[in-house]
Structure 1
Amino acid sequence: MKIVVTADTHLKETGKLPARLTSEFQTADLIIHAGDWKTADVYTELASYGDVKGVYGNIDGDDIRERLPAKQMLTIAGFKVGIVHGHGDKKTTERRAIESFADEHPDVIIFGHSHIPMLRYFKKQLLLNPGSPTNKRTVPYYSFALLEIGDDIHAELVFFSDKS
């Protein structure tokens, strides 16, 4: 199963999703968004490509919060995938994401909020922050992630410089 993972799209600030991201949606089995959609229009656009799962982030209004939970657990091909935005007080975004699923023990934890792409293991959990495809802040490239789940899990970050 090919999953495109994104977060922190902040669409109203950028106008549209980048072609590098939307081209991957064409062949995705699932799209996961880890919050800070900014507008429900992003959900509508992603849903036009296929199945969408996700959570709301700290900047999302009631239109997103009524549609999506604060955290979500999916089971895909026998693997547990947790999704959370990662915002909150104290601790790092990564630590807050890990602690959000302390009792569920997912195989993969997907989170956003920091706009800093990250792919690493913490103990036996794969931590995946796709960064942002539209608002790179202090990192040199825009980014999203590809997650392949079948007999095992393969993840990669995709970096690009042209957000048009």
Structure 2
Amino acid sequence: MIIGVISDTHLFSRQLVLPQQVWDGFEDVDLILHAGDFCDWGVHDLLSQMAPVEAVAGNNDPQSIVHKLGRTKIIEAGGKRIGLVHGDGGLGGSTPEKAFKSFTEEDKVDIIVFGHSHVPFAEWKKGILLFNPGSPTDKRRQSQYSYGKIFIQPDDITFEHYYFDKEKTRD
């Protein structure tokens, strides 16, 4: 199973365009995970044109999106349990620490996907993959835009970040 991972798109109806790199990169995905900060539901609609979407709301999303998606969820995909959270909540610590603390040992997740910091991140902690794709539209202090993919096989989980310098819009 190939999962496209995206977060922190921060798009609004007046500029509702995903970079061509995302369209191209998600051509082969079975599922898309969005870790919040859509800012406009139209982003969900665009992603849904590529593959089924599972998502949570972020701290910049309007209440209508929070109501539709919630702030955390656990999904099952490819035989693995994936915790999905934006990563801004909780007390103290870095964004990866906050994301990790969002799920308890009883949740038995194999992967935690989060966003919020706009910083691409991947690390194994206590047997759980913590993965932040960065942002394909709002790189902030990062040198490049980014998104990610997680590859799930029966006995293996691998991942990759994809980086690009300039947003190309879809033709």
Whichever residue aligns with residue 94 of structure 1, its letter is P
Report the Cα offset of residue 14 of structure 1.
5.3
Q: Is the 8 A contact 1:39 1:63 kept in 2?
A: no
CA contact (8 A) 1:14 1:134 kept: no
Distance in 2 (CA, whole Å) between partners of 1:77 and 1:18 is 27
Taking only the aligned residue pairs, the percentage that are identical comes to 38
Residues 1:142 and 2:145 are matched in the alignment = yes
The alignment yields a C-alpha RMSD, in angstroms, of: 1.4
CA distance in 2, matches of 1:101, 1:60: 21
Gapped regions of structure 2 (runs ≥ 5):
none
What SS is found at the alignment partner of 2:116? coil
Aligned match of 1:79: 80
Q: Does the 8 A contact of 2:115 with 2:133 survive in 1?
A: yes
Equivalent residue number for residue 93 of structure 1? 95
What does residue 128 of structure 1 align with? 131
1:158 to 133, 154, 162: 162
- Residue 37 of structure 1: SS of its match in structure 2? coil
Segments of 4+ in structure 1 off by > 6 A?
A: none
Shift of 1:24: 2.1
Q: Is the 8 A contact 2:16 2:42 kept in 1?
A: no
Residue-pair matches, total: 164
Residues 28-50 of structure 1, C-alpha deviations (whole Å, 9 max, x = no match): 11010000001000011111122
What's the counterpart of residue 117 of structure 2? 114
CA distance in 2, matches of 1:155, 1:20: 17
Task: Tell me the secondary structure at the aligned position of residue 154 of structure 1.
Answer: strand
Counterpart in the other structure of 1:8: 8
Quote the Cα distance in structure 1 between the aligned partners of 2:45 and 2:80: 27
Q: Matched residues in 1 for 2:92 and 2:130: separation?
A: 19
Measure the CA separation in 2 of the matches of 1:62 and 1:145: 27
Matched, 1:38 2:39: yes
Matched, 1:53 2:54: yes
CA distance in 1, matches of 2:15, 2:163: 18
| 1:63, distance to aligned residue in structure 2 (A) | 2.5
For the 8 Å contact 2:81–2:109, the answer to whether it is kept is yes
Could you tell me which runs of 5 or more consecutive residues in structure 1 were left unpaired when the two chains were aligned. none
Distance 2:150 2:15 in 1: 25
Choose 7-16 or 76-85, whichever is displaced more: 7-16
